[in-house]
């Protein structure tokens, strides 16, 4: 049987007593108090009447508890939810007693968002506070059970954005979650459980969620990919893209289905998004892409050779710890070289890669010297072994000679 154990966090009042009885007749998903003890508001000492009003002391009369009280709010309509939640969450002095760093501009941001604008225009299917944060079981954002915990955000957004009935008439597709799930970001978050990987709200915003425009998307991507953004902004293509109203980052990397880029992408003869602008792979852009690929491939091959030689020297027992610093530097420069192609400047890419070649060459040279030393030691050991063997033989013969003369 469903039951609630009252603790110091939940005071038994008329609201709790009545709804506990009502909940016994409901399925678990429809109960008001299922997760009430875990709710962040209850944990902070608040209760039902702080949101719904009414008189929690009126145990014997339902009308006195609810309907006769002007402040009572039963079912809070969607259009009223931002105002009800904002009564507390928009008051800095009130919220400060619970947290010194909690934001109090969520409601203001919400009304500027696509959700808020749609709600004002009469769209009752649009998301409001409870659609994202749930209702009576509102967990802290740091709680893995929270609907807005980092790992759960994509599924929470998809609850509406993946529903064709909810999204009908908006012109917005409903396959974002499927695309995101196979993206480099989605795999990192949903499969690798990397809570630092970007989810929907990292690109679209939280309470002020709004679709990014072609003029702002590079800044959004650039909030994480800073070097890529700055290099592209300084490139000759930046103004061309902006003046033509062309997509920037997403023009090459797509939107929600951002796949892990590979070096082979530079050989873009079969890449539809490249061919949209560049019809022939033999034009200057195609040649530049091929040159970039060759530069990166040369650096990768040098690093692979260095890794192989260093590993061989290490397996032979040689001291190669210092060489690993050069190898690590070469790997870093390889990443920088891949980033540098966003400059679309051959001279800059070549200069960046050249430092990697030098670091890899130093590692190769160090490994070769270590192997030469190993060969020298091996030769010396062989000669010493011969000398030692000859000495042992001579000593044996001397002993035998002495025994004969006795």
pLDDT at position 116 is: 94
pLDDT(5) > 50: no
User: pLDDT grade, residue 61 (50/70/90)?
Assistant: confident
User: What does the alpha-carbon distance between residue 383 and residue 390 come to, in Å, rounded to a whole number?
Assistant: 11
Q: Which residue has the higher pLDDT, 20 or 93?
A: 93
pLDDT at position 196 is: 92
Give the pLDDT mean for 28-35.
Answer: 74
Q: Which residue has the higher pLDDT, 97 or 281?
A: 97
User: What does the alpha-carbon distance between residue 261 and residue 274 come to, in Å, rounded to a whole number?
Assistant: 14
Sign of CA dihedral 35, 40, 41, 44: positive
Q: Are the beta carbons of 34 and 42 closer than 8 angstroms?
A: no
Give the pLDDT mean for 177-196.
Answer: 95
- List the one residue out of 227, 266, 240 whose CA is nearest residue 352: 227
Quick: pLDDT tens for 141-179: 999 999 999 999 999 999 999 999 999 888 889 999 999
Give the pLDDT mean for 374-399.
Answer: 85
Using DSSP's 3-state secondary structure scheme, residue 276 falls into: coil
Q: Are the beta carbons of 361 and 302 closer than 8 angstroms?
A: yes
Quick: pLDDT tens for 283-329: 788 888 889 999 999 999 999 999 999 999 888 888 888 899 999 99
pLDDT at position 7 is: 44
């Amino acid at each position: 049987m469903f039951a609630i154990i009252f603790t110091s966090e939940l005071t038994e009042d008329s609201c709790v007593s009545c709804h506990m009885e009502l909940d016994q007749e409901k399925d678990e998903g429809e109960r008001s108090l299922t997760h009430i003890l875990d709710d962040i508001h209850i944990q902070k000492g608040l209760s039902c009447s702080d949101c719904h009003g009414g008189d929690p002391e009126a145990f014997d009369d339902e009308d006195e508890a609810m309907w006769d009280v002007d402040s009572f709010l039963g079912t809070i309509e969607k259009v009223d939810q931002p105002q009800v939640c904002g009564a507390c969450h928009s008051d800095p002095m009130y919220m400060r007693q619970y947290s010194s760093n909690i934001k109090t501009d969520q409601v203001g941001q919400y009304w500027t968002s696509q959700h808020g604008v749609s709600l004002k225009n009469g769209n009752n299917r649009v998301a409001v506070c409870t659609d994202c944060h749930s209702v009576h079981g509102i967990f802290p954002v740091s709680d893995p059970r929270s609907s807005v915990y980092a790992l759960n955000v994509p599924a929470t957004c998809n609850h509406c954005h993946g529903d064709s009935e909810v999204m009908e008439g908006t012109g917005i597709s409903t396959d974002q979650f499927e695309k995101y799930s196979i993206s480099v970001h989605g795999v990192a978050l949903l499969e690798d459980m990397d809570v630092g990987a970007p989810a929907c709200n990292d690109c679209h915003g939280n309470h002020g969620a709004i679709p990014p425009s072609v003029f702002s998307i590079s800044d959004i991507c650039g909030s994480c990919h800073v070097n890529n953004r700055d290099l592209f902004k300084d490139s000759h293509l930046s103004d061309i893209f902006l003046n033509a109203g062309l997509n920037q980052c997403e023009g090459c990397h797509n939107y929600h289905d951002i796949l892990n880029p590979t070096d082979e992408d530079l050989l873009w003869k079969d890449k539809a998004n490249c061919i949209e602008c560049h019809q022939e792979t033999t034009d200057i852009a195609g040649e530049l892409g091929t040159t970039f690929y060759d530069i990166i491939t040369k650096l990768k091959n040098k690093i692979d050779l260095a890794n192989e030689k260093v590993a061989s020297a290490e397996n032979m027992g040689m001291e190669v710890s210092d060489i690993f610093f050069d190898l690590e530097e070469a790997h870093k420069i390889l990443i920088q070289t891949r980033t540098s192609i966003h400059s679309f400047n051959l001279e800059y890419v070549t200069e960046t890669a050249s430092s990697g070649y030098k670091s890899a060459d130093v590692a190769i040279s160090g490994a070769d010297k270590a192997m030469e030393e190993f060969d020298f030691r091996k030769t010396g050991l062989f000669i010493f072994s011969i000398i030692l063997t000859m000495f042992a033989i001579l000593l044996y013969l001397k002993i035998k000679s002495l025994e004969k003369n006795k």
